[in-house]
Amino acid sequence: MKVIGIMSGTSMDGADLALCNVEFNGTEWSARIEAAKTYPYDEKWRVRLSQLKYQTTELYAKTDVFYGRFLGELVNRFCAENGITPDLVASHGHTIFHHPDHRLTAQVGDGATLSAICNLPVVSNFRRADVALGGQGAPLVGIGDELLFPEYDSCLNLGGFSNISAEVNGRRMAFDIAPCNIVLNRIAREIGQAYDTNGQIAESGQIIFPLLNRLNDIEYYRQSAPKSLGREWINKGFWHIVRDFDQEPAPDRMKTLVVHIARQIAASINSIHGENGAGRAVLVTGGGAHNASLIDHLRAETEAEIVIPDALMVDYKEALIFALLGAMRVKNIPNIRNAATGASRAAISGSLDGDFSKLL
């Protein structure tokens, strides 16, 4: 199948669209990216999505539909720009609520509206079935890491949050480690930048050790997997600590956050693989892979080999994996590993909208 995977992450930089060629030979899956583009959010969309959890039910419902229309229009634009006619769209949507302990996760981007606008079959709403089965509903990329990147001992994503998946004792585990770009970008915006280009702001700063110690003492880091994080947790369990140091220069807070994130990631890698990760290869993707300061600090904290692929894979691996999950859903093959999420069983997850007759 030719599948457009769509990913919108908590870092709020924009919607990632990737045209992927997904194949299944009866026993093995393969997928490759053929074209990709990020469509940045304007300030209106960034504010609306980030503040939607505080709004009325009517505004939530409207945004669900309007954002679905917006994504459908992006698909049409992407297809026109690349001269393509895909078979399927697989859309993650944009997460507004994530409370798996209360069996709740919600992503806007109505699949029916998206399908109507782009006139293509759409798979969306990937997380809810797993959460209904008692799982974390995140991260879902573990099965894609297992099927598409088996040559790596673990796969690390540095997006809004950092998350990792790895094969441990014959089972794929996956969990969120710590916040990443979602907090780094907040500091960058204080000084008029969208993000910390190449980690230059962090490199100009000094570590604030009282802040570092308080962050490292956050209770979440002592919890065992499966576990996941959401934007709500940032405000309740993390950002109030950073705000206590608002009087400190932005570069110093940025440096401290980078060191904190690197140490928590390294601790997870070293715990999973033992022996400080020596001899293990870790594939690193997501926007944080472009942050030279973060990567340098990570390499200093673990003996694992930190492997950064080409820019296309760095930026669009999650969109690629959701294209794979969409194709698996169409074939009625389980696309969520409950060993990774903690659900009671594996799930065939994703809502279908549009005409699938040509794909079945």
Residues 93 and 150 in one domain: no
Task: State the Cα–Cα distance between residues 30 and 22, nearest whole angstrom.
Answer: 6
| Closest among 8, 29, 28 to 18, alpha carbons compared | 8
Residues 173 and 257 in one domain: yes
Residue 360 maps to a domain? no
- pTM attached to this predicted model: 0.94
pLDDT digits 0-9 by tens, 285-315: 999 999 999 999 999 999 999 999 999 999 9
Q: What is the mean pLDDT of residues 86-107?
A: 95
Residues 166 and 179 in one domain: yes
Residue 171: the pLDDT is 85
Residues 212 and 263 in one domain: yes
**Which of 282, 298, 313 lies at the terminal end of a domain, its last residue?**
313
Residue 120: the pLDDT is 98
* CATH number of domain containing 9: 3.30.420.40
Residues 33 and 165 in one domain: no
Residues 91 and 169 in one domain: no
Domain of 54, in residue numbers: 2-137+316-353
In the chain, how many domains are there?
2
Residues 98 and 154 in one domain: no
Task: State the Cα–Cα distance between residues 188 and 146, nearest whole angstrom.
Answer: 34
| Closest among 37, 99, 95, 40 to 63, alpha carbons compared | 95
Residue 299: the pLDDT is 98
Task: State the Cα–Cα distance between residues 260 and 246, nearest whole angstrom.
Answer: 17
Residue 168 maps to a domain? yes
User: What is the pLDDT of the chain when averaged over all its residues?
Assistant: 95
Using the CB atoms, write b or e for 138-170: b if 16+ within 10 Å: bbbbbbbbbbbbeebbbbbbbbbbbbbbbbeee
The neighbour count for residue 24, using CB atoms within 10 Å, is 16
The pair phi, psi for residue 158, each rounded to 5°, is -110, 75
